[in-house]
């Protein structure tokens, strides 16, 4: 009996010292706060798949540390995101956070800033988000990055009068603002801007109003997960046959929804950061592996998660496994690598992503609609940060 008591005591002491199984010091925890339920659940599913696929391909050990991914469901509610981030920092002792949708990323920012936790912004497309914490680094995109380029393209291809239909929240406002600036500057006219509620949108009355204004071009931003319902209502109103050109950032031809849209979006031209049809060896491998793992086509949200994990892995390699937020963020600044979307890097000044923006046209390839790239704008920065440098 005495010896077994001794053994228990020794085990207790050793585990207290961090000896034995993978100890707290040998494990790096990454807490990702995303919507796994509710109206934006598709976004959470895609980020979870992207992060897990990266780990499946690259293993769960970096610089001698065991990587542990923790996914928390905020159901798109910013107060939940804040509470979950706090619990991840205080109870789980995460070394990294992953942030999702704009409102949640905004509410988590003070915790990242004050708690000094390096945070990868994997979904949000709103410019200002990365300015809310010095430890925020983005692997997603901004709406401005895409919306100015598509405005210029539309004007060059004959557009003169546009109506904008925008999902009514921060990324929609930015998409509309940058589109309108470029469109007006190039001599076009935005006849009207229509704002559609974010949750459970009914596009029909807005599409009717847009049609009544007789524009030659419709600029539309809806977030990931709403391209399918939008396309259905667009076709129900006969707008796919009206001769009005539909353009937008990549979100309206989201690859997660595109296979289910039939002929509705054929010919639609967008400026986007990722297409599953991107013709690179790395992307073909990514799309195949993603399809095998999830049964879905990889989309622009998923690469934000996949590349977010790469950024964390590469930073840990560079710091030799140190997770101190200042060291990690310094390591991330200026980092450049090949993503399934093409070459990307982290702007050392803004901690925002620099990436190619592609002009793509929806075409039928092997019996299904795909956004086929035909022009590339290389190394595009967030235009709103370039306009007002801080
Ligand atoms: C965002 O959270 O800013 C966001 C989410 C989904 C999108 C675009 C922007 O498709």
DSSP 255-272: TTTGGGSTTTTTT-EEEE
| CB-ligand 1 contact for 299 (6 Å cutoff) | no
State the average pLDDT over residues 220-227: 97
Q: Is 134 exposed, middle or buried (0-12, 13-18, 19+ CB in 10 A)?
A: middle
pLDDT value, residue 95: 98
pLDDT at 15: 45
Helix and strand numbers (H, E) in the chain are 12, 15
pLDDT of residue 7: 47
CB atoms within 10 A of CB 272: 28
Backbone angles phi, psi at 97, to 5 degrees: -115, 155
* pLDDT higher than threshold 80 for residue 12: no
Angstrom distance (rounded) from CA 223 to CA 67? 31
Q: Report residue 47's pLDDT band, with 50, 70 and 90 as the boundaries.
A: very high
* Residue 10: per-residue pLDDT: 47
Tell whether the model's pLDDT for residue 19 goes beyond 70: no
Nearest CA to ligand 1 atom 8: 223
Task: Taking residues 278-291, report their average pLDDT.
Answer: 98
Mean pLDDT of 126-133: 98
Cβ distance 354 to 332 under 8 Å? no
Percentage of the residues of the chain whose pLDDT score is greater than 70: 93
Note the pLDDT tens digit of each residue in 142-174: 999 999 999 999 999 999 999 999 999 999 999
Q: Which carries the bigger pLDDT value, residue 328 or residue 19?
A: 328
Residue 390 above 90 pLDDT? no
- Judge if the beta carbon of residue 102 lies within 6 A of ligand 1: yes
Within 10 A of 186 (CB to CB), how many other CB atoms are there?
A: 14
pLDDT of 387: 82
- Residue in this structure with the two tokens 């905004």, named with its chain if needed: 106
Which of 137, 155, 370 is CA-nearest to residue 272?
A: 370
The pLDDT-based confidence of 23 (bands split at 50, 70, 90) is low
- Taking residues 104-116, report their average pLDDT: 98
Residue with CA at minimum distance from ligand 1 atom 2: 101
Q: Closest by alpha carbon to 316, among 53, 62, 29, 68?
A: 62
Angle between helices 78-90 and 102-115 (to 10 degrees): 30
Here the tokens at position 255 are 């690859």
Q: Name the band, by pLDDT with cuts 50, 70 and 90, for residue 25.
A: confident
Q: Does residue 9 register a pLDDT over 90?
A: no
Task: Region of 260 please: left (phi>0), alpha (psi -120 to 50) or beta.
Answer: alpha
* 3-state SS track over 344-368: EEECCCCCCEEEEEEEEEEEEECCE
In which region does residue 243 sit, left (phi positive, over 0), alpha (psi from -120 to 50) or beta (all else)?
A: left
Helix, strand or coil for residue 380?
strand
Q: Pocket of ligand 1, candidates 123, 141, 384: which has the most ligand atoms within 8 Å of its Cβ, to mutate?
A: 123
pLDDT digits (tens, 9 = 90+) for 332-375: 999 999 999 999 999 999 999 999 999 999 999 999 999 999 99
- Residues 325-342 have pLDDT tens digits of 999 999 999 999 999 999
Provide the pLDDT for residue 17: 47
- Establish how many alpha carbons lie within 13 A of residue 118's alpha carbon, considering only the half-sphere containing its beta carbon: 27
- How far apart CA 49 and CA 289 sit, in angstroms, is 10
Q: Are 250 and 146 in contact (CB under 8 A)?
A: yes
CA dist., res. 9 & res. 13, Å (int): 6
Atom of ligand 1 nearest to the CA of 254: 10
In the predicted model, is pLDDT for residue 99 greater than 50?
yes
The residue among 302, 284, 342, 289 whose CA lies nearest residue 57 is 289
Answer yes or no: are the C-beta atoms of 85 and 133 closer than 8 Å.
no
Size of the chain in residues: 390
Task: Say which DSSP state 374 is in.
Answer: E
Q: What pairs with residue 270 in β-bridges?
A: 248, 360
Q: Which of 171, 172, 173, 248 to mutate to test the pocket of ligand 1 (most atoms within 8 A of CB)?
A: 171
**Backbone φ and ψ of 8, nearest 5°:** -60, -45
Contact 108, 120 (CB under 8 A): no
User: Do 86 and 110 contact (CB within 8 A), yes or no?
Assistant: no
- Specify the pairing of strand 336-339 against strand 342-346: antiparallel
Alpha helix (H) residue ranges in 69-101:
78-90
The single residue listed with the structure tokens 């500057």 is: 185
How far, in Å, from the CA of 15 to the mean position of ligand 1?
A: 43
| pLDDT value of position 389 | 60
- Mean residue pLDDT of the chain comes to 94
In this structure, the residue with its CA closest to atom 1 of ligand 1 is 124
Query: What average pLDDT does this structure show over 17-43?
Result: 83
User: What is the spatial distance between Cα 92 and Cα 194, in angstroms, rounded to a whole number?
Assistant: 44
Candidates 256, 349, 345; CA nearest to 47 is 256
pLDDT score, position 198: 95
Q: What's the gap between Cα 96 and its chain centre?
A: 17
Tell me the three-class secondary structure of 268-306, residue by residue.
CEEEECCCCCCCCHHHHHHHHHHHHHHCCCCCHHHHHHH
């Amino acid at each position: 009996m005495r010896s077994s008591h001794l053994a228990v005591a020794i085990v207790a002491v050793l585990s207290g010292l961090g000896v034995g199984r993978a100890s707290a010091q040998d494990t790096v925890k990454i807490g990702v706060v995303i919507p796994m339920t509710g109206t934006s659940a598709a976004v959470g599913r895609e980020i979870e798949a992207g992060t897990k696929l990266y780990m499946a391909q690259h293993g769960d050990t970096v610089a001698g540390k065991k990587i542990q991914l923790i996914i928390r469901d905020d159901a798109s509610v910013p107060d939940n995101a804040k509470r979950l981030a706090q619990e991840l920092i205080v109870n789980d002792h995460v070394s990294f956070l992953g942030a999702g949708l704009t409102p949640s990323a905004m509410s988590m920012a003070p915790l990242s800033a004050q708690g000094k936790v390096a945070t990868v912004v994997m979904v949000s497309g709103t410019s200002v988000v990365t300015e809310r914490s010095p430890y925020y680094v983005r692997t997603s995109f901004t709406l401005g990055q895409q919306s100015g380029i598509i405005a210029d393209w539309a004007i060059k291809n004959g557009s003169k009068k546009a109506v904008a239909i925008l999902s009514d929240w921060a990324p929609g406002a930015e998409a509309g603002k940058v589109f309108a600036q470029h469109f007006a500057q190039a001599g076009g006219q935005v006849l009207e801007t229509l704002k559609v509620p974010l949750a459970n949108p009914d596009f029909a009355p807005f599409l009717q109003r847009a049609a009544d204004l007789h524009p030659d071009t419709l600029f539309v931003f809806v977030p990931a997960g709403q391209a399918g319902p939008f396309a259905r209502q667009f076709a129900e109103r006969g707008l796919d046959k009206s001769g009005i050109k539909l353009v937008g950032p990549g979100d309206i031809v989201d690859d997660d929804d595109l296979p289910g849209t039939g002929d509705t979006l054929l010919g639609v031209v967008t400026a986007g950061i990722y297409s599953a049809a991107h013709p690179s060896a790395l992307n073909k491998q990514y799309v195949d592996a993603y399809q095998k793992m999830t049964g879905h086509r990889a989309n622009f949200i998923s690469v934000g998660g996949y590349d977010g994990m790469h950024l964390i892995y590469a930073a840990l390699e560079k710091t030799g496994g140190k997770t101190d937020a200042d060291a990690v963020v310094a390591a991330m600044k200026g980092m450049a690598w090949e993503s399934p979307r093409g070459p990307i890097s982290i702007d050392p000044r803004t901690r925002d992503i620099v990436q190619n923006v592609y002009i793509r046209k929806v075409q039928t390839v092997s019996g299904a609609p795909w956004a086929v790239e035909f022009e590339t704008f290389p190394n595009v920065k967030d235009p709103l940060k370039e306009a007002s440098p801080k």
